[in-house]
Structure 1
Amino acid sequence: MALSRQELDELRPYVSSITSDVLGFPETAVVSAAMDCVSKNLEKEKIALHLRTLLDDLAPSFVDKLSDKVEQIKQSRTAGESTGRKRKREGFSEAVGDSGKEPKKRLRTRFDLNDEDISNVPYAVEEPVNAAGLTRSQIDDVMETTMKQIEARKQQLQIGTGVPSVVGGGNVLQSATSAGMHPISTPAISHRDALMQEAVEKARKAAELNAKIQQTLAAKPSLLSNLGAAKLISDPEKLLEQAKPAPLILDDKGRTVDESGKAIQLTRRIPTLKANIRAKKQELFKMEKPKVEDTSQNPYYDLRVRGGFHVRSKRSFTFHEKGKFEQLAQKLRAKAQLEKLQSEISSVSKKSSISTATRLALIAPNQEDDDPIPDVEWWDAVILPNETYADIVINITDGRDPISTKYRGITNLIEHPIQRRPPAEPRRVVPLPIIMTKKERKKLRSQRRRDVEKEKQEKIQLGLEPPPPPKVKISNLMRVLGNEAIQDPTKIEAHVRAQMAERQRKHEEANAARKLTKDERKAKVLKKIIEDTSLGVHVAVFRVRDLSNPAHKFKVDMNAQQYHLTGCTILFKDVNLVIVEGGPKALKKYKKLMLHRVKWEQQKKGRARDSDKQSSEENKCDLVWEGTNKERSFIDWKIKQVAAEVFARDHLRKYGVEHYWDLALSRSIVEEDDKE
């Protein structure tokens, strides 16, 4: 489920923030790559693989945060859609009944309550009561019920004097039953009788519901505030008289009191302005500052635990100091003047050919910090007794060559050092394999098969093995079987064909047993590709001026993985460094790819080029260095993009090969100066 454009726009600031948290500085390339992966709805592993070239080891943590945020957005959207669908279904189910037609709207009376609605009767809600002991909701319900009863009574009176009253539901039912009236048993019913029977039926249902409500209220006394409310409900006329608003009575102090003189607590007005509501909330949720405890005498107190709560500082206006922007303008003018002066100096230095030496000196490593001068050289420390040059005493009394004192390990004997094996040579001499021609291999195979058959015949002659059954075929059927084939040819033919099928089956089973499995075939192919680098590792360093073309980058990456080479690719402006390590065969093929097969002058399709600024000879690949090392410097293959030269050198310093970058960068500087 991909994200919409609006959700992607909301996600972009979050991606930018986590990029700054992970890298320590904003990087638009990482943000663009991450948003591209999210818009394509890629999986978590694929996103980590795409961003590994930009973030290196920080990619897993970055992808985890990004995936959590995307899942949160998707879950919120799914919850909103399900809520909308639920509301829509509820509205449709209320508007349309089981029959599919819209039901007629009618007023709901207290007789329409069922057992489930009784628990939600408005009389049980705690609201302010009046002088009669009734709440506002109780008064409204009683008024509505009374008005409906009055309307029903008016309709019955308009029908005729023979129709009984509807108010007394129980009496109507008894009179109708005693008279023998029933809507189903009456044979001929007039219009007035039908109306009367309908009124009787409604009165009967109302009486049943009223009895059920009374039973429920008796079982749950908490539904009514007091017994007076129940009596008033049974007597509507008395309720109407008491439901009138009570008169306002004030005492001498201005307080509201009832008829007995008892003070009444009126409902307070709730402020509606947002400022008043905000002030009220601040008073309710005002937190007191915690008391600082004395922890000096507490032996169980951990000093590493930070005490107190973090309180957010109040935002306030910050005004600029006078003259701030004037100083900023002066700095900008001084910077522009300095750049102008530097450009003049660089133009003069180019004419005097000192620019190249200066730039090379800047990138040269600091030898004083990396390799300080020792007090005693290691070859002298072996023979000096106290490993100091102060032990040397020169005797010049005899007038001849200076004679040194006795040193450790120096005698009048000649020492012959032990000859050691070079690290690149194998421990055992492997004999060269004998390469035979096709005719020689065929002859050797025939001899081996002849010897096996001869050994088998000798075992049969000695009785060690039973003789094999005759190999019967359709062609030699008559010659092998003779009279048996003439007596029952059909049976013999079926027997021969069964033997032929059995021989074919055994042959196929033997081939299947010799067939390699999928893992064995894969291991066989890897054995041919992966070379033994225990005696030495071949290394090659290439410099590509422009590696922005995705096709070129794909070839460099995939071929290194397919040849099982280790190393890395550093992407930086016009110094794109490719370092590969592996066996001699794989490195030979990769070298041919980088120097001959890839057409570096071809640009990306659909990309316009300026003929005045670029030419087909500008982009090329150079072999910076090629040689062998004792061990591998890298453990895997990766591509890393850097924003400055310092980051590239720091990355290679982790593997101890920062001199590769110095060599490639120095060559690029020399080439630029030669062009100028």
Structure 2
Amino acid sequence: MADVSGNVLKRPHPEDEDNNAQKRSRSNNGSPLPGASGGPAAGKVDIEKMVAEARAKAEAVRARLQAARGGTPSSATPSPSPAPPAASPAMSRLEQMKARVAAATGRANAAAQQRAAAPPPLTYQTPQYDDEGLQKARGGLDVGLHPALLSDIGQDARGSKGRQAMQPKFATTMANRRTESPVPAAEAKKPQLDLSGPSIEEMKKNPYFDPNIGSKNVVPKPRHSRQLIFNQKGKYIQQAAALRRQAQLEEMKKRIAERARQAGIDEDLDVEKAFLVPAPPAVEWWDEGLVNGSDYSAIDDPKNLKIDTPDSIITIYIQHPVLLDPPQDKHIPPQKPMYLTPKEQAKLRRQRRMADLKEQQAKIRLGLEPAPPPKVKKSNIMRVLGEEAVKDPTAVEARVNREIAERKEKHEAMNEERKLTKEQRREKLATQQEKDAEKGIYVSVYRIDSLANGRHRFKISKNAEQQALTGVCIMHPRLNLVIVEGGGHSINAYKKLMLNRIDWTENAGPSTTSDGQPQTPASWLSPEDEKGQLKDLSQNTCTLLWEGQEKARAFRKWLGARVCETDAQAKDVLARAKMENFWILAKSSKTAAA
């Protein structure tokens, strides 16, 4: 930094501090200008003055320490050291620096002794610090250091040997603690943070405070002391007496029951109980949720009915009943095994025949059966009967032909024995039809335009009887109605007959009786018209009106063909089976077709 004149401003020399003079400017010739004559003398006077002041302060500190320890200051005060000789004007620069360092050291020792003399030496107390800035500067975040780390503050490490032993910086007993710790004035004036929580009154007034999520320290809960509960005298004695009485009663009941069992009284009681009819309940369990009362007399008042009330068990929701298995499912035949291929069938037959042959051979070896004669054929004559065939070939050939015929007759006889008779086949068919009907009753209704051909009427009735179907055939001048009911297999066979096998457009001529005379049915059932010519049945059709399943049969047997001239007669025949609606259905379908 330069002044206005351009000279460089520098730090003043230590010797010229008091005079506050600038450093001498260097001459151009290379040597400094001679200074004032009074400069060195003034510097020497200052050093002596500082040393004297430092020694005086040190003596004062020693006197206070001795007074606090209880000693006399005269005996404890050491003799003053002789003053150093006055500095000569010709004192070298090195000597001046040493004197200055000695003066600074004396001042530092005096300050350290003053700080060490502050706490009482005879009691262990918590250290008090007058210099708050020093404490905060030694620790971070304005936190003071631990007392064990502040030992270098209370005494000087260089000159305190033998003066005072190191003492702890904290109280060791409760009695030595100060009741009132001195607080610096700066700290006393400084406001402190209130860490206490809100009071109970403030929390009750706060509408947004929730005590459930608050801290336990914020909301103190009162602690209730539990009182001592003493058992009354004789409490457990009474309990033991009650248990003993109960055990005696149980034992007495067992003895009475044993005696009654021995006397036979128990059996009589059981027999009587079996014939007793229990009394009906006042309210059935399925009505308890609908009646507000103990018996059915409460339903006289409509208010006691729980049907439209909010607590009723009847709601707007749909309750689906438990699904029951259909009754026809139990009649479903078991599933057939998978069919075998021809190779698999031949393999099984071969294995079965081999097992039978081994069994037969074992019986022959044991003598249980005679050995079978050799099976001679024309292809193995020479191998089986070699010598005999050579001697008499004609007799051997006749013998072989006779054995072949016997084996054939035996085989055919066995087949005839296994074959069912005519009665057995009829019974077997009836059994199968009954089993088919047990699986479910099916109904089919057919409408036929004309039954003028007698063969059609015969086939309708005969097949219904053979298939064990029940029903009726209504013959009317306008239409014909056939209703059949039976098992599923029989109905399917009859359906194929009515819709596929019978040619309804065929007219074979008039039917004859057993005597060979032509039958004389009604005119509208005759295959010939008034002129004696065959009727044209090319437009004759058979239609399936309805088919479905019923719970039971409506007809007891096959009623055969019924001739009904009017609608009333047809309805009377069907009304017995409650199927007159099918006649109306047949007439409506006829009208719609027309």
TM-score by length of 1: 0.35
Which is greater in Rg? 2
Greater relative contact order: 1 or 2 (C-alpha under 8 angstroms, separation 6 or more)? 1
Higher helix share: 1
TM-score by length of 2: 0.39
